[in-house]
Amino acid sequence: MFKKPVTLSARTSLSNKEKKKLRAALKERFPSLTDVDADLLVPDGDEVQTCKVQATRIVLYFRHKDPVIVNNDGSFFPTVYGLWLVPRMLPCFLVYAPVSKFLMGGADLMLPGVLPPKRWPQFQKGELWAVRVIENQYPIAVGKTMVSNKDIYYQGMRGRGLELYHSFTDHLWELGSRSTPNASFTAAGVTGSGDPEETELGEPPEKFPALPIASKGEDEQAAGGSERGDEDVTNGGVKENEEEQEGEGEGDEGDRDNDDRCDEREEEEHEEQEEAQPSSSSAFDNSAAAAAGAEDESPVTGPPPVTLTPDQMDVYLHHCLLEVLKTSVQESQLPLDASAIYSLMLAAADRVARHKVLIEALEKTGIADEAVKAFLLAPPPLDVKRSSHKKVPKLFTHAAKAKLLTTKEQRGNQIITGINKQHPQVTAYTPAPERPKPSAAAAASSSSSSQQQQGPSSSSAGNANTTGDMVQVLEFYKPGQRVQPVFAAAGIKTGKERFFTIQECREAVNKYVSERLPAEGDKGKSVVLDAILASAAGMKGQDGTEVAKAELWKKVQNNLDDYFCVVHPGKDHAVDPVSIKKGPISKIEVSVEDRSGGRKHTTHVLHLATYHLDEQAVAEYLSRKLACSSSTYELPGKGDKGGTAVMVQGSAAKQVAELLTTEFKVPRKYIETKDKTKPKK
């Protein structure tokens, strides 16, 4: 968010009344914040200033010379200066010192770089969390979680854990005094302070008991792999999973033997590191995690996952592959990168793990009954490294030898070119039953936010485009200045919070016509206008003119003000009320444009936020589903002309539009595809 320099408007000082209002808003946003903490952030006696970041909706609040609070379009989060004043304000992920330099460079926090506790507290995707280095009480970054504790439990420590908003040494930090809380904060990175007294955070509120900080000896033991340097810790913390880079071609037989030995060595080191990791008391600060929305103060987690032997993991992988080949991949989607198929297998592992076909296959390997029960209660994450294949390419090479699919090497990557749906194993396999879970639309909408506004009356809800669990677009109207006299004469009240469906507007006009104007023409299909109706139809000065009723209604409709709101099935609108916006709704625009002089193409997707879809989540899903590169970028302008758009490599307008309907539940009528490529000569 602050990777690039920002331009600020003029600063203004807050009055005592505004300070009081700001403190109340902060305590409401952060329930663990006490009155003393709020006074530290927004003191009464000192000058507190505010200013806007130009060309954005971001407002900064300064205490002395340091920005302490950021208001991003109504959503508050603290800066590192604010967190240094109140370190317990947010729950924290703990990382090793080498990871800090990557966070300071603006990289998101990857879960492999986080020190996991024995039991995670309950938290949801999209919550505010901070990051701090082990044995250092002061946070170095703040952002929103990209997973929930359940996602971590079922998927393992993989992928992005925190989308970074702000970090130490970024341009927001540079707007302040550029001070540091202690000598462990340097431009090269942040280390543990090493002083036990410095890690004493004091007594937190009674409701949220403090967890002891790891001792220095535990820290050194947990960081015992530091001689491996930044390779194990930092690469795991800020880069994508190794599986995404395993598509490279294999070398000669000697290289493969070396790879196997390296994998075994890395696996042994990984197990040693797990044994040396700090306990749950040192892995994170849970005081504010309970305040982040968990009703139950004591988190409930299942038993630890069972450990499978390599042969049993092979069986697990094989059934997940059959599940994907049977249900998820079609011939029309090929060719696909091997990593894309493996990603689908990871997604299917949760439902396959409880499939009776897999359990029967595992029992044939001699797995104990107790292990089966533990497997059903807490399935272990699907991990090719714990199988006999060790690597993703070897897994699919084995599947190709079994004639389940065909592969080829392309620029060092393994590509799946065909699948054999007529293979006896595929035809005999029974797909696992679907388990209830949030849809892709719910996941994408969990990060989006809407402004609080009073919703329409129940009578207006009849205009909903009801499509089951699809996104519903409710369209409303208000009489414009010319049409208001018609509603008043018909005895219908209008006002700021009164909205009407198109049918209610038509009934109001018909009521006025039937009560005041005589019907003319064949069977009363036309009407003679009076001054009020002529003005409402945009025909001022033409009273006395005979106009067909159908034509009259079209003219009156043009003078109605359009409003709309979007109701998403993945959002709890009782907690997050819908926002009614003025104007006609913008359709999602999916367009294909030329690149590199027309030799290549890109697909652009606009107006996703209108339908409560998070652009970053949509981009990540399309990248996985279409096995292509995707990204987000900011559009110039404001309102419908601005916002965030998604760009997908290649010409994929048809596929994107289909996925938006099937996976993100947007009705097809609100998706518009355009071909902006130049015609070939």
Q: What percentage of the chain has pLDDT greater than the value 90?
A: 18
Token pair 């952030």 in the structure block, residue: 41
> For domain 12-82, which CATH number applies: 3.30.870.10, 3.10.450.120, 3.50.50.60, 2.40.50.140?
3.10.450.120
Return d(Cα 166, Cα 81) in angstroms, integer.
11
Q: What three-state secondary structure class fits 399?
A: helix
Choose the weakest-confidence range: 23-32, 159-168, 240-249, 258-267. Answer: 240-249
pLDDT in tens, 335-374: 888 888 888 888 888 888 888 888 888 888 888 888 888 8
- 550, 563 contact by CB (below 8 A): no
Tell how many helices (H) and how many strands (E) occur in the chain.
Answer: 23, 27
- 108, 163 contact by CB (below 8 A): yes
Q: What is the pLDDT of residue 577?
A: 63
Q: What is the pLDDT of residue 473?
A: 85
Higher model confidence: residue 427 or residue 461?
Answer: 427
216 pLDDT exceeds 60? no
The three-state DSSP-derived secondary structure of 95-117 is ECHHHHHHHHCCCCEEHHHECCC
Neighbour tally for 425: CB within 10 Å = 16
451 pLDDT exceeds 70? no
Token pair 């076909």 in the structure block, residue: 357
Comparing CA positions, the residue from 673, 555, 269, 52 lying closest to residue 60 is 52
Token pair 């998604």 in the structure block, residue: 646
pLDDT in tens, 371-404: 888 888 788 888 899 899 999 999 999 999 999 9
Q: How would residue 197 be classed by pLDDT, with cut points 50, 70 and 90?
A: very low
| Extended strands (E) in 355-453 | 405-410, 413-419
575 pLDDT exceeds 70? no
Return d(Cα 229, Cα 237) in angstroms, integer.
13
Higher model confidence: residue 158 or residue 504?
Answer: 504
pTM of the model: 0.37
Q: What is the pLDDT of residue 225?
A: 38
Q: What is the pLDDT of residue 591?
A: 93
523 pLDDT exceeds 60? no
Return d(Cα 582, Cα 477) in angstroms, integer.
9
Choose the weakest-confidence range: 114-128, 149-163, 410-424. Answer: 149-163
For the chain, the structural domain boundaries read: 12-82, 86-237+279-292, 310-437, 481-558, 585-675
Q: How would residue 672 be classed by pLDDT, with cut points 50, 70 and 90?
A: very high
Give the C-alpha distances (Å, rounded to integers) separating 439 from 349, 434, 442, 556, 574: 16, 12, 5, 41, 19
Return d(Cα 624, Cα 678) in angstroms, integer.
29
Q: What three-state secondary structure class fits 249?
A: coil
Higher model confidence: residue 678 or residue 10?
Answer: 10
49 pLDDT exceeds 50? yes
User: CA dihedral in degrees (604, 334, 342, 406; nearest 10)?
Assistant: -160
| Average pLDDT, integer, range 230-234 | 38
Higher model confidence: residue 454 or residue 481?
Answer: 481
pLDDT in tens, 528-557: 888 888 888 888 778 788 888 888 888 888
Return d(Cα 45, Cα 676) in angstroms, integer.
59
Dihedral pair phi/psi, residue 133, rounded to 5°: -85, 145
Of all helices (H) and strands (E), which one includes residue 128? strand 128-133
Token pair 């007529």 in the structure block, residue: 422
Give the C-alpha distances (Å, rounded to integers) separating 114 from 94, 99, 126, 258, 507: 6, 9, 17, 29, 62
Choose the weakest-confidence range: 2-6, 594-598, 602-606. Answer: 594-598
Amino acid of residue 531? A
Return d(Cα 195, Cα 212) in angstroms, integer.
14
Q: What is the pLDDT of residue 221?
A: 39
Q: What percentage of the chain has pLDDT greater than the value 70?
A: 75
464 pLDDT exceeds 70? no
Q: What CATH code is assigned to 481-558?
A: 1.10.245
257 pLDDT exceeds 50? no
Residues 6+ apart with CB under 8 A from 443: 125, 570, 617, 621
Of all helices (H) and strands (E), which one includes residue 285? strand 284-285
Residues 6+ apart with CB under 8 A from 559: 479, 480, 482, 483, 536, 537, 538
Q: What is the pLDDT of residue 433?
A: 83
Of all helices (H) and strands (E), which one includes residue 52? strand 48-52
Q: What is the pLDDT of residue 163?
A: 92
Q: What is the pLDDT of residue 235?
A: 38
Across all residues in the chain, what is the average pLDDT? 76
Q: What is the pLDDT of residue 606?
A: 92
Q: How would residue 441 be classed by pLDDT, with cut points 50, 70 and 90?
A: low
Return d(Cα 230, Cα 252) in angstroms, integer.
28
Q: What is the pLDDT of residue 76?
A: 92
| Average pLDDT, integer, range 236-264 | 42
Name the CATH topology of 310-437: Arc Repressor Mutant, subunit A (1.10.10)
| Average pLDDT, integer, range 626-652 | 84
Higher model confidence: residue 482 or residue 638?
Answer: 482
675 - beta bridge partners?
A: 592
> For domain 86-237+279-292, which CATH number applies: 2.30.130.10, 3.40.50.720, 3.40.50.620, 2.40.30.260?
2.30.130.10
Name the CATH topology of 585-675: Translation Initiation Factor Eif1 (3.30.780)
